[in-house]
């Protein structure tokens, strides 16, 4: 039960046995063997079938017992009722890996789900790298392996892809065939009884034949493990995913489809962002990025040049660029001088560089050569509209561009706007492994995503610090609350936790008599706030349980008596501990909400926003998964749209950000320390130019 | 100079003369004739050339004088220096319309621009419907006319398209050829010396052969006329435009490209929205909408059904749907019963309807038949992933869907996810004139746009009212200010205008002495605000010129003396009229900003937003072009994101919306009444549950 599976045996097996091999063309047990043969597989194929002697020219073995010991890979296509038995037999011959293509397990629930649990336990116990059940199989073009029943063979290439949906697997393959995009590995994950996206990511991260990892996901079973594995991969190569089930309706559909509950989409988005995973928002973006990342190098800066044979598309591309973080700088003056020698006088000699509707191959090639040689630019978009001249010279123009693109290490994206008559160019670019776009917008968006990934790869290491705290003291409070069966930790108990974590709170003390209250107020300093303290009374103002702006000891004493007497009368059921005496909030503070919610997949998801209408109406919130690094604490504050309100809008002083970041890191630590805390609201946290104060806190328990 | 041009002569000429006809293939003067012949033109073609006798089998006329009187259409391809002379000759024979393909006019500036002005004046004087100069020409497939030099012939169809860019014209044609999308009219507008988008829109609106109008625009010369014409068209058929030059950088490129200054993008967006013009945000959206509108009927409601052979894409489509105003309702129970009879038991029987990866033509057809028969749904998306079964039956599945689609009047959008092996289906759908998509997201976005357009078509008439006002009184103030050369109308003068328009202002009066100030304050009621009144002092607080919360006559007198003396000392240059005494703002009010800015193309653009940070930091603003209808005034308030703050968030009372709408209509009227006012800020307008008050106003003059 080590959990370290032999994925080499799975992806590059020397021997493959097909359990349920069939001599009938069209049957899955036949298609898998045919695909393996068509892929040019160089290892040994052993069909297993009790009745046949030869299938597709390969000698057949009668049963699993007849297979060689230490078999690399078994592919199971037998009916559902025979799967567990076959797996038990395979354990006996010490199989290293298996793919169960057969469906009818967890996804149908009931008996199927029970059966899958047994198979899962068997594989885990015996360290069998299992893919499926209920999957299409896998492809490894680098080693000429194709054990799927998907029609057709993909082209070889450097993208590796995993899919939690078999149908999407076929769509991606078909799209890739049409676009001449090639793959190294391609895995249909099925029900993920043993191997899931985290195992595959780890393997693909270390795979020298994989340059880009793509994935279609519906859910992640172990969020923490995913985060741990994927952030190692994104250090080395881009990971692009499409994650469905964003909407509440979508999430419902996901649940019924995969038989497991999808996590909240915010947690997914945050996990992807914090680990550098690129999340495509649609299938078309997914495919555009596959093309871009696999066929072009990363831009080393934000500066985009646009070459075009028409003004209109140049303007549209400029519009599209302005929506991104890319920049449209101007060419160096030396470049302009050189361009003037090779282009006609009516060219624009600025960015976008309009070389005119009658530009031929010479103009396109010369312009691109000058632009890629100019250090001002990090990426180039080359637009062509099929004017009569362009149409006449389309092959020469395309060839000239390809020749230049092959000599530069900057990403160059041709964008030929049309369909019918530019199709020859599309094919030429595809065959030359150059990314090709029909519209400027998706090309520019792809370049921006690549630029952002280049920045991610170059980023500094994050700094994680454990803030000083008295964990034992906090633990005592939490455990006591759990013991009493309380749903929440509030007020005095919550204040104890703030103290244990050195969180800057408004000074406060619990008083059980009017005299104690007056003494506490003297100590804190006037004016003070007085609040009824009772575990049973959560809505204090309903019982008139809050008095603000008390200016002296007399007022405090009177308030104590009034508040406790009224509460006792109105809520005879409640045990009244006394009153909480609290420092008044200083002036000029901004209200902040900090909170966390424990996500089923990813653990505590921390939320940051400005209090009141900003969170409630404008939904201006930023998220991070716990633990936060120092950089996270810094950045999460700057991610909200209303950040300017904190940094000093309209001539105000900015708030003390360090103090706010300190609170964030301590909330993060608290969430990490106590899994018993399911949700928390630090609301409001008050902050001015001096410091931050936690004015109120509620901690929800399991 | 009537301005009513004979566009029938232009689009459906009985006789066409080509001035500058050439016998040399590849020359524009030859290509135009060849295109006309290839289009199957049934009228008379007269090549005009001094040297040839026959071109492409047509007898040549030596000069313009030899052309028949009252000629329908002359197409000019002669060099620039001969264009004006040719036009003068054409006037003599009473030509009805002309297309100048030749370039080198306004777009190059200088002499070219001068020449264009002469041609323009000539055509306007003689009522010649001129297209160009600097254009590709026009196509009218309904009447077999093609007088362009663009390569190839489009397919006939019901879309008509205009383009302000010749290059984009070629892109759109090529895309349409590839997608088998057909056109009725196709016009390259060039420099728009005479005919512009407004003339063309009016013509296409009345054209029985045009069902959908598409346009590529860079700028509009006469915004008011565009609005007037286009809103008549959108009543009858959809108008879809792409407008470039959105970004500041893009607008710069537009200016250098078209030789005219582009209007602010907000004004364009607002004009499109107020007239029901559908603005595509990208070329791909433009093309998707062309396909959708021309090949499918409008959905009569928001309810979308999704049929799919795979769960994952169903979830993704559901996600995409949730981002729109479309709804995913469930099938009627009778439909579910019927579906159970025709689909396998493992189908999902809900929306999205997952019919399984092994669905064949029978399942697809039966599912679609049941779904389109169900009144619950207004539109259907049919997803196919190329599973082995789907791939095997793809032609039968496609044919079955086509047969069903042809029988229903609901829009049905097939979305086949892939490229290589689904291409046969794509071709079949194209040939059957059924819209086809590769990805669910753009299909769903297109359906939503069609649904919104269907709602626009059904909308109520707008109500325009002229609020009661004393225009003469306001005019006197404005004219006086203009006469004195003031840059702004502020304070007392501005208050007079508010009064003339019956705008609810805070009570205020001008006092020239301390006693007058005290008397004014008594009349208004304490407390009051006192502000220095001087045309030269616009930043009053810089000279300590504002005192708030004055509680009695004594305080008012003292403040008057203090404020006027200090201002006189600090600004000896300024003429001090006295002080303005103003009612204090009532409590519980929200601050609103209402303003307008006169746009060069579209006239006054009115702005509405919440004051302070909402406008400044969150840019939460809504726009309308003047005049506002009553419905506009109602809706513009509800368009901002922070609307909930006005309607009564967190238990507050909502504001008096009628009172706010009244102010909006009066500001609109003021902007319409006085073109001298270039900009205005009613800031703040205060509003509570009782009423609105204009607390301050600045009106900028030309």
Q: Residue A186 belongs to what H/E stretch?
A: strand A182-188
The reply to whether A75 and A20 lie within a common domain is yes
What's residue A247's pLDDT?
Answer: 57
What is the extent of the structural domain holding A84? 7-293
Q: State phi, psi for A622 to the nearest 5 degrees.
A: -120, 150
B533-556 burial: b if 16+ Cβ within 10 Å, else e = bbbebeebeebebbbeebeebebb
Give the number of C-alpha atoms closer than 13 A to the C-alpha of residue A70, restricted to the C-beta side. Answer: 1
Inter-CA distances, B274 with B232, B280, B331, B460, B627, Å: 12, 15, 36, 13, 11
pLDDT band (50, 70, 90) for residue B264: low
A422 touches chain B (CB under 8 A): yes
In order of A300, B400, B523, B531, B567, the CA distances from B519 in angstroms are 72, 87, 6, 15, 22
Min distance B169 CA to chain A CA atoms (Å): 9
Local confidence band at B246 (pLDDT 50, 70, 90 cut-offs): low
Omega before residue A536 within 30° of 0, cis: no
Whether residues B151 and A645 touch (CB distance < 8 A) is answered with: no
CA distances from B608 to B102, B594, B625 (A): 46, 5, 11
Please give the residue that has the higher pLDDT: either B610 or A147.
Answer: A147
A91 touches chain B (CB under 8 A): no
Q: Do B385 and A170 lie within an 8 Å CB cutoff?
A: yes
Residue B198 is encoded by which pair of tokens? 């407004």
The encoded tokens of residue A125 equal 């116990």
Give the tens place of pLDDT for each residue, B407-422. 999 999 999 999 998 9
Give the closest of B352, B440, B442 to A253, CB-based.
B352
Residue A348 lies in a domain: yes
Q: Is the pLDDT of residue B257 over 70?
A: no
Q: What is the pLDDT of residue A3?
A: 56
> What local confidence, expressed as pLDDT, does residue B213 receive?
97
| CB neighbour list of residue A484: distance below 8 Å, 6 or more residues apart | none
CA distances from A541 to A546, A567, A578, A583, A698 (A): 6, 10, 15, 18, 16
Token pair for A486: 């309380």
Q: Are residues A286 and A310 in the same domain?
A: no
Pairing, β B155-163 against β B212-217: parallel
Q: Which residue has the higher pLDDT, B79 or B575?
A: B79
Nearest to A419 among B167, B178, B618 (CB): B178
Cβ of B177 and A419 within 8 Å? Answer: yes
Whether B437 and B335 map to the same domain: the answer is yes
Which residues contact residue A146 at a Cβ distance below 8 angstroms, ignoring those fewer than 6 apart?
A35, A36, A38, A39, A41, A137, A139, A140, A153
Q: Assess B134–A contact: CB distance below 8 Å, yes or no.
A: no
Query: Domain boundary residue among A253, A270, A293?
Result: A293
Report A:45-84 residues touching B (Cβ under 8 A).
Answer: none
Of A168, A348, A420, which is closest to B312 when you measure between CB atoms?
A: A168
Instruction: Supply φ then ψ for residue A151, to 5 degrees.
Output: -75, 135
* Strand pairing category for B590-599 and B603-610: antiparallel
CB-CB contact of B150 with B170 (8 Å): yes
Max mean pLDDT among A173-182, B260-269, B467-476 falls in B467-476
Q: Do residues A176 and A182 make contact, with C-beta atoms less than 8 angstroms apart?
A: yes
Please give the backbone phi and psi of residue B591, each rounded to the nearest 5 degrees, phi first: -90, 130
Task: Measure B489 CA to nearest chain A CA, in Å.
Answer: 25
Which residues of chain A are within 8 Å of residue B423 when distances are taken between CB atoms? 178
According to DSSP, the β-strands at A97-100 and A129-131 are parallel
Q: Distance of CA A391 to CAs A358, A656, B33, Å?
A: 10, 62, 19
Query: Between B256, B311, B422, which is nearest A165 by CB?
Result: B311
CB-based contact A170:A119 (threshold 8 Å) = no
**pLDDT per residue over B155-182, tens digit each?**
999 999 999 988 899 999 999 998 889 9
CB A345 within 8 A of CB A354: no
Are B580 and B605 in the same domain? no
A-proximal residues of B, 272-311, CB under 8 Å: 282-284, 309-311
A245·B168 Cβ contact <8 A: no
Residue B561 lies in a domain: yes
Residue B262 pLDDT exceeds 80? no
Mean per-residue pLDDT, B566-593: 87
Question: What's the pLDDT at A404?
Answer: 97
Mean pLDDT of B234-240: 96
The Cα–Cα gap between A143 and A11 comes to: 8
For residue A524, the domain's CATH number is: 3.30.1490.20
Q: Test B168 with A421 for CB contact under 8 angstroms.
A: no
Same domain, A442 and A481: no
* Segment among A610-619, B51-60, B675-684 with least mean pLDDT: A610-619
Q: Residue A92 belongs to what H/E stretch? A: helix A80-92
| Interchain contact, A388 vs B164, CB within 8 Å | no
Interface check for A676 against chain B (CB to CB < 8 A): the answer is no
B584, B606, B629: which is the final residue of a domain? B584
Which residue among B309, B315, B649 places its CB closest to the CB of A250?
B315
Closest chain A residue by Cα to residue B257: A311
| Mean pLDDT computed over every residue of chain B | 91
Angle at B554 between CA B549 and CA B559, to 5 degrees: 60
In chain B, the percentage of residues whose pLDDT exceeds 70 is 96
Last residue of a domain, one of A403, A435, A457: A457
- Decide if B482 is inside a domain: no
Which residues from chain A sit within 8 angstroms of residue B641, using beta carbons?
617-618
| pLDDT top residue among B294 and B250 | B294
Indicate whether A329 belongs to any domain: yes
Q: What is the mean pLDDT of residues B129-148?
A: 96
Domain match, A640 and A544 both: no
Chain A contact for B1, CB < 8 A? no
What was the pLDDT predicted at B258? 28
Contact A310 B168 (CB under 8 A): yes
Q: Are residues A129 and A208 in the same domain?
A: yes
CB neighbours of residue A50 within 10 Å: 8
Residues of B in contact with A250 (CB under 8 A): 315-316, 318-319, 322
Could you tell me which residues come within 8 angstroms of residue B82 by beta carbon, excluding any fewer than 6 positions away?
B20
Closest alpha carbon within chain B to A262? B315
A170 domain-assigned:
yes
pLDDT value of position A575: 87
Answer whether residue B496 is part of any domain: no
Distance of residue B518 Cα from the nearest chain A Cα, in angstroms:
34
Task: Tell me the β-bridge partners of A488.
Answer: A700
A124 contacts A131 by C-beta, under 8 angstroms: no
> Helix H segments across B577-656?
613-616, 630-639, 643-647
B103 at the A interface (CB within 8 A)? no
ipTM of the complex as predicted: 0.86
B107 touching A, CB under 8 A?
no
- Which of B109, B303, B311 should we substitute to test contact with A (largest number of A Cβ atoms within 10 Å)? B311
**Facing A165 at nearest CB: one of B258, B310, B419:** B310
CATH code of residue A379: 3.40.50.261
Is residue A509 within 8 A of residue A523, CB to CB? The reply is yes
* Position A464 in a domain: no
Is the minimum CB–CB distance between A467 and chain B shorter than 8 Å?
no
Q: Is residue A462 part of a domain?
A: no
CA A564 to chain centre: 51
A651 CB-near residues (< 8 Å, 6+ apart)? none
CB contact under 8 A, A167 and B216: no
- Cross-strand bridge partners of residue B667: none
Contact with chain A for residue B419, Cβ under 8 A: yes
- Asked if A171 contacts A196 with a C-beta cutoff of 8 angstroms, the reply is no
* pLDDT, position A255: 37
Say whether B612 and A650 touch across the interface (CB within 8 A): yes
Q: Is B228 exposed, middle or buried (0-12, 13-18, 19+ CB in 10 A)?
A: middle
> Is the bond leading into B627 cis (omega within 30 degrees of zero)?
yes
Residue B38 CA: distances (Å) to CA of A329, A666, B33, B145? 46, 77, 9, 9
Q: Which 200-259 residues of chain B touch chain A by CB within 8 A?
A: 216, 218, 242, 244-250, 253-254, 256-258
Which residue stretches of chain A have pLDDT < 70? 1-3, 246-264, 612-614, 616, 649-651
- For the ranges A312-326, A688-702, B86-100, B195-209, which has the lowest average pLDDT? A688-702
- The arithmetic mean of pLDDT across residues B673-700, rounded, is 90
Using 50, 70 and 90 to split pLDDT, how confident is the model at B125?
very high
B253/A320 Cα distance (integer angstroms): 13
Instruction: Assess contact for B195 and B129: CB atoms under 8 A.
Output: yes
The model's pTM: 0.88
Report pLDDT digits (tens) over A578-603.
998 988 877 778 889 999 988 888 98
Any chain A CB within 8 A of the CB of B542?
A: no
Q: Does A1 touch chain B (CB under 8 A)?
A: no
* Nearest CA-CA distance, residue A346 and chain B, Å: 9
Which structure tokens are listed for A689? 């130019």
Name which of B135, B247, B312, B390 to mutate to probe chain A: the one with the most chain A Cβ atoms within 10 A of its Cβ. B312
Which pLDDT does position B489 carry in this prediction? 87
A to B CB pairs, distance under 8 Å = 275
Best A167, A181, A250, A541 residue to mutate vs chain B (most B CBs within 10 Å)? A167
Residues of B in contact with A188 (CB under 8 A): none
Q: Are residues B613 and B579 in the same domain?
A: no
For residues A670 and A689, state if they share a domain.
Answer: yes
Of B283, B311, B348, the CB nearest to A316: B283
Of A5, A426, A446, which Cα lies nearest the Cα of A200? A5
Rounded Cα distance between A452 and A446, Å, is 10
- Do B155 and B49 belong together in one domain? yes
User: Based on the domain organization, do A151 and A191 belong to the same domain?
Assistant: yes
Query: Would the CB atoms of B249 and A418 count as touching at under 8 Å?
Result: no
Looking at the structure, tell me whether residues B526 and B672 fall in a common domain.
no
Most B CBs within 10 Å: which of A109, A311, A615, as the mutation test of the B interface? A311
User: Edge to edge, what strands does the sheet with A212-217 contain?
Assistant: A145-148, A137-140, A182-188, A155-163, A212-217, A239-243, A278-280
The reply to whether residue B312 touches residue A357, judged by beta carbons under 8 angstroms, is: no
**pLDDT in the model for residue A600:** 83
Q: In sequence order, what DSSP letters do the residues of B168-193 get, joined into one string?
A: HHHHHHHHHHHHT-EEEEEEE-TT-S
CB within 8 Å: A256 and B348: yes
Number of domains in chain B: 4
Q: Cβ–Cβ of B420/A175 closer than 8 Å?
A: yes
CB contact under 8 Å between A284 and B442, yes or no, is yes
Query: Is A328 an 8 Å CB contact of chain B?
Result: yes
Three-state SS at A689: coil
């Amino acid at each position: 039960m080590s959990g370290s599976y032999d994925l080499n045996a799975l992806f590059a097996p020397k021997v493959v046995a097909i359990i349920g091999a069939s001599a009938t063309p069209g049957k899955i047990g036949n298609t898998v063997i045919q695909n393996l043969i068509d892929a040019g597989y160089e290892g040994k194929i052993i069909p297993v079938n009790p009745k046949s002697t030869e299938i597709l020219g390969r000698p057949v073995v009668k049963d699993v017992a007849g297979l060689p010991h230490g078999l690399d890979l078994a592919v199971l296509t037998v009916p559902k009722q025979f799967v567990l038995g076959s797996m038990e037999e395979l354990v006996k011959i010490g199989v290293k890996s298996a793919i169960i293509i057969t469906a009818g397990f967890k996804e149908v629930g009931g008996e199927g789900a029970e059966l899958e649990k047994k198979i899962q336990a068997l594989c885990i116990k015996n360290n069998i790298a299992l893919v499926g059940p209920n999957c299409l199989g896998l492809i490894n073009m680098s080693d000429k392996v194709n054990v799927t029943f998907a029609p057709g063979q993909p082209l070889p290439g450097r993208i590796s892809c995993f899919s939690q949906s078999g149908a999407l697997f076929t769509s991606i393959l078909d799209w890739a065939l049409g676009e001449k995009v090639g793959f190294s590995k391609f895995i249909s994950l099925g029900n993920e009884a043993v191997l899931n996206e985290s195992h595959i990511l780890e393997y693909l991260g270390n795979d020298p034949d994989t340059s880009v990892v793509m994935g279609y996901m519906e859910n992640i079973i172990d969020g923490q493990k995913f985060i741990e594995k994927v952030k190692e991969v994104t250090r080395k190569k881009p990971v692009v995913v499409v994650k469905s089930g964003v909407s509440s309706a979508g999430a419902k559909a996901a649940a019924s489809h995969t038989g497991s509950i999808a996590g909240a989409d915010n947690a997914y988005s945050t996990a992807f962002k914090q680990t550098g995973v690129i999340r495509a928002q649609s299938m078309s973006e997914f495919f555009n990025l596959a093309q871009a990342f696999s066929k072009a190098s990363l831009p080393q800066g934000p500066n985009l040049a646009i070459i075009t044979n028409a003004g209109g598309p140049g303007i549209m591309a400029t519009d599209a660029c302005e929506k991104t973080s890319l920049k449209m700088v101007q060419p160096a003056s030396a470049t302009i001088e050189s361009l003037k020698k090779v282009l006609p006088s009516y060219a624009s000699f600025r960015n976008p560089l309009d070389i005119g509707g009658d530009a031929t191959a010479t103009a396109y090639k010369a312009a691109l050569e000058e632009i890629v040689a100019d250090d001002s630019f990090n990426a180039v978009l080359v637009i062509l509209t099929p004017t009569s001249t362009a149409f006449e010279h389309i092959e020469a123009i395309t060839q000239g561009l390809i020749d230049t693109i092959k000599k530069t290490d900057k990403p160059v994206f041709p964008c030929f706007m049309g369909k019918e008559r530019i199709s020859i160019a599309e094919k030429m670019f595809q065959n030359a492994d150059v990314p090709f776009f029909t519209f400027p917008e998706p090309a520019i968006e792809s370049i921006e995503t690549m630029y952002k990934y280049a920045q991610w790869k170059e980023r500094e290491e994050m700094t994680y610090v454990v803030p000083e705290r008295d964990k034992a003291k906090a633990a005592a409070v939490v455990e006591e609350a759990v013991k009493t069966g309380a749903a929440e930790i509030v007020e005095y108990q919550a204040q104890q936790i703030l103290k244990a974590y050195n969180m800057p709170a408004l000074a406060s003390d619990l008083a059980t008599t009017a005299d104690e209250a007056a003494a506490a107020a003297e100590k804190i300093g006037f004016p003070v706030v007085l609040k009824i303290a009772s575990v049973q009374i959560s809505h204090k103002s309903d019982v008139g349980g809050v008095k603000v702006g008390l200016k002296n000891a007399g007022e405090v004493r009177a308030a104590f008596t009034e508040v406790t007497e009224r509460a006792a009368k109105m809520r005879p059921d409640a045990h009244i501990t006394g009153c909480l005496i609290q420092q008044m909030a200083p002036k000029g503070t901004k209200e902040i909400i900090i909170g966390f919610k424990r996500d089923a997949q990813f653990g505590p998801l921390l939320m940051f926003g400005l209090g009141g209408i900003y969170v409630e109406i404008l939904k201006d919130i930023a998220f991070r998964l716990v633990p936060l690094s120092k950089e996270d604490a810094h950045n999460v504050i700057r991610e909200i749209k209303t950040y300017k309100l904190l940094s000093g809008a309209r001539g105000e002083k900015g708030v003390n950000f360090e103090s706010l970041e300190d609170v964030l890191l301590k909330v993060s630590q608290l969430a990490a320390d106590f899994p018993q805390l399911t949700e928390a609201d630090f609301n409001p946290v008050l902050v001015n130019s001096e410091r931050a104060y936690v004015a109120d806190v509620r901690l929800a328990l399991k």
